Amino acid sequence: MSSDQEIDFPDGTPDERELLLRWLGYLRGAIQRKVEGLSDENARWTPDGALISLIGIVNHLTHVEWRWIEGGMRGQEVSRSDEEFSPGPELTLAAALAGYRERASATDAIVRSMPSLAEPCRWGEDTDLRWVLIHLVGYPFHCPRKAPPLLLGVSGRQHHNWWGTGTGSGRFGH
């Protein structure tokens, strides 16, 4: 079983901004641990074709962060396309992960550069940077179209939960 240090379990801090970024980083790491080492074919697999593939999840989460940070917080023009859920064969898993990591670094830098967590978001009354970060931390869990492949362990790895820690039996980690 992996230790908390090995999986970058977030340490507490009185700095709320850093605490939220640590949790976001931890959850990003969970997604990366789930897919690293998979073939492109395995990363594109979907159960009965009904859900989004793991490569689609990585690609979509990259775009979600981009939209909220660049669009919602910085006011840039952003868009959403159904192709982000089912990327074509030109997007390899390695490239999707590299894009996810690059977006993570950009998000972290932008968040740290903002004056406060109360910085207003341009989308929605009473939303601010704090709200956006909490939304990003919880996003993989509140969208049932995206979370099941991660929660079910469709990567074929042996584990008991989607964090990639512990062991379990069977393809779905039951």
**0.95 exceeded by pTM:** no
Total Cβ atoms within 10 A of residue 123:
14
Domains belonging to the chain, first-starting first, are: 16-152 (1.20.120.450)
Q: Express each pLDDT in 35-68 by its tens digit.
A: 989 999 999 988 776 678 889 999 999 999 999 9
The C-alpha atoms of residue 102 and residue 21 are separated, in whole angstroms, by 15
Quick one: CA torsion of 54, 21, 13, 128, rounded to 10 degrees? Answer: -130
pLDDT at 2: 52
The predicted structure's pLDDT at residue 8: 72
| pLDDT tens-digit series, residues 61-107 | 999 999 999 999 999 999 999 889 889 999 999 999 999 999 999 99
Neighbours of 7 (CB within 10 A): 15
pLDDT tops 60 at residue 10: yes
d(CA 135, CA 77): 20
pLDDT band at 26 (very low <50, low <70, confident <90, very high): very high
